[in-house]
Structure 1
């Protein structure tokens, strides 16, 4: 499926059905396939999964589209509104969790509860070696950026700490597919460079967002990978303590991308949150 939004065409999947509505938000250089495992386990739920313009999208955005963090967050809000999704459980991991924080801070009425999973927060933006390396590549021209990213065709390079190596233990095959759009489409490379530059221009933005999170008085589950090397586990503790209805759960045997490393356990936690 796809929908025309202010910034351009956004592709998404929607399992339909009358059950609780869950909207899943991925991170940088990822697409909606990040959530395939948990979605498969969440039978009875209506799972809606957009692929946002975060570098692995297949539909280029309009030249003037706002690809800043706040701009992408507004695009996500527009997505909820255009599909008329209500009483949404909003789930985000990695940069997707940062985008969820924007909607929480703005008090978006369509969101009734959230799940923040191992994500950018506070001063961890860009996050870890992975994020810092990625933001640096955004200084390159789109052409040189594409040449640099060609290295990610090699599994050995993808498994480095500066790439996906510290993000997932078991999801390399999925990560290999994420990079294909920007390798094959100059317009996607243009979008990727634009968004990386826009993100890099606001290093303190999540600290500002965090100041408004205590006003979010709806249920909030914070799920963190105990072994996370990119998103500090103490940030999970801080997020949970900031939120009036926050709860922290630590998950073993996973890196940042819990939906890839522990899909069934992650789905169980989401299910418990939506039915509590």
Structure 2
């Protein structure tokens, strides 16, 4: 991963480039490296890309909610003195971006969601009954992608370690319950922030009909598909993902 992680008070983040601020929000099991293609592509085009580590396992249990992650994001934006940000979120990160945009619409110039939760939570909340079984966890990780080879040993090892850490597992399930409670179907029609929806046609975690529902409910949204692609388009097809986002930003004047 290019760039160094900056430690700044309670924040840990990657920051690359100068210009228009683009904040990337990772998912529940996703690290900063999932967006390597984005962090390399956009800085030369005049974007200041920031990837904060979300405090998924650091908050007290009662505060481990999507809403508190959205508030953490707002504190980070204020700390960095950013305005008119572009938020880009995958999976839980998309949900945090959506909720932040609802709570602080004046801060967000544009929103990009890919494989986002917020309308439909399946794989996040089904538990890990065989969490000690490495092969079971490997299969779960591979199912996230269209091409199972994208689930490298490093990714599988990380998921295996997380689900076998009792406190992390408890917090993972708490976040899943919070995501279900924060269903945004009633909020989306009131959110007029320009939104780019990029979705994998073979996403098993948040299936294609979820993308269609986001597109239908959000007043100012454009929907784009990537074929032979699962839940994390920016990892499986980084070049195609960047091309779609590039042309959308250009068309919208961002």
TM-score when normalising by structure 2: 0.83
Partner of 1:28: 28
Rounded Cα–Cα distance in structure 2 between residues aligned with 1:50 and 1:65: 22
Verify: 1:199 aligned to 2:199, yes or no: no
Segments of 4+ in structure 1 off by > 3 A? 62-65, 148-152, 156-159, 176-184
Contact preservation (8 Å) 1:31, 1:178: no
Spell out the pairing of 1:59-70 with structure 2 (5 A cutoff). Answer: 61=58, 63=60, 66-70=63-67
List per-residue Cα deviations over 1:163-221 (Å, max 9, x = no partner).
Answer: 2122122431252364487489x6xx535523522532563421xx2211222222111
Higher relative contact order (CA 8 A, sep 6+): 1
Contact preservation (8 Å) 2:118, 2:180: no
Spell out the pairing of 1:95-114 with structure 2 (5 A cutoff). Answer: 95-114=92-111
Rounded Cα–Cα distance in structure 1 between residues aligned with 2:28 and 2:220: 28
TM-score when normalising by structure 1: 0.77
Verify: 1:2 aligned to 2:2, yes or no: no
Is 65-74 or 75-84 further displaced after alignment? 65-74
- Size of the aligned set, in residue pairs, is 241
SS of match in other structure, 1:164? helix
Contact preservation (8 Å) 2:142, 2:150: no
Q: RMSD over aligned Cα, in angstroms?
A: 2.6
Spell out the pairing of 1:1-276 with structure 2 (5 A cutoff). Answer: 1-4=6-9, 9-18=10-19, 20-42=20-42, 43-44=44-45, 45-54=47-56, 61=58, 63=60, 66-122=63-119, 124-125=120-121, 127=122, 130-133=123-126, 136-137=127-128, 149=131, 151-152=133-134, 156-160=135-139, 163-168=140-145, 169=147, 170-173=149-152, 175-176=155-156, 178-179=158-159, 182=162, 190-200=167-177, 203-206=180-183, 209-275=184-250, 276=252
